[in-house]
Amino acid sequence: MVKNILITGGAGYIGSHTAEILIQNNKKVFIVDDLSTGFKMLVNNKAKFYKVNILNDEKIKEIIIKNNIDSIIHLAAVLSVGESEKNPKKYNKINVTGTIKLLKAIKNTSAKNIIFSSTCAVYKDGFSRVNEKTKLGPTSVYGKTKLKCERLIKTFCLKNRINYGILRYFNVAGASKSGKIGQINKGDQLFKNLSLEIKKKNPLFKIYGSNYKTKDGTCVRDYIHVSDISDIHYKILLKIDKNNNSKILNCGYGKGVSVNDVIKEFSKYANKNLKIKNFPKRKGDMVKVISDNKRLKKFINWKPKYNTLGKIVRTSLNWEKNLKKYEKL
């Protein structure tokens, strides 16, 4: 039975939302985060927080043993496709070496389940809709590090009889309906950057690549609301624990949305016109990637709650309003 759950990177965007859902379902949550990209204000006050770097396997092992941890949700990572191309050493150190250190910490402990946050960036570009059997071939350093981690986890778990759930996220966006948690970090995140830009008097947004072979020339992605992805973590964790098995699953809505589609939706809800400035394509960006989520739906009888672009945009904008209030406190 799942009782005590450790979330690495639990003070981050997805980690904080996952903690919220676990706590709502009466699970004991323990968070490990060094706050290099996470934020203490996102840590649920009902969770036990440890400020620890993912590379500190001895301390993490101590935490696992002390709290009788039965399940790990491994989210600690660096995530920017663009940055990964400029700084591959950083991505290999935190993502790959960090995962190796975590697995070392788990060995010979009470932990029997691990959920890993992978990405659709592990797939080869050129397949518009991908299922879990689609050819792998990451175009970015970020995607390559995540694929390495997948393989490390599978090998380790098979050898040590630990259940795993490898979740290939598509593009996570939005914020909790509560308005109390959301995304703080900027970077490659389209919804975050639009939420910030749209508040300005004369908003101007940069598009990287306007001549892709898509319906409007911009990249196409499959966006999934952060609360739905967090709920998936919880449901898959329960399922692999109950069935004593392991799965690799795509996590998306199965809907393709272009960058221009997202911009139009933001303009509509904010009631503002957004000027566009086009820039060259970024190295590592995929043209179009949409999930085939049949396996996910079948495995946990999944029914998403926030699967419209409008809901993702509204919660993103609401979070930015609330974040401004929190920053004044």
Catalytic residue (one of 91, 142, 223, 234): 142
**Residues β-bridged to residue 276:** 205
φ/ψ of residue 149, rounded to 5: -65, -40
Rounded Cα distance between 141 and 91, Å, is: 8
142 given a catalytic annotation: yes
Which ranges of the chain would DSSP assign to H, the alpha helix? 13-24, 57-66, 81-86, 88-91, 98-106, 141-160, 190-197, 226-243, 259-270, 294-300, 309-328
The strand pair at 220-221 and 257-258 is best described as: antiparallel
Q: Give residue 35's region: left, alpha or beta (phi > 0; psi -120 to 50).
A: left
Rounded Cα distance between 103 and 249, Å, is: 21
292 Cβ contact list (under 8 Å, min separation 6) = 129, 130, 131, 132, 250, 254
Joined together, the tokens standing for residue 155 give: 């090998």
**Are the CB atoms for 228 and 304 separated by under 8 Å?**
yes
The whole-angstrom distance between residue 281's C-alpha and the CA centroid of its chain comes to: 23
Cβ-in-10-Å burial (0-12, 13-18, 19+) of 137 comes to middle
Q: List active site positions.
A: 142
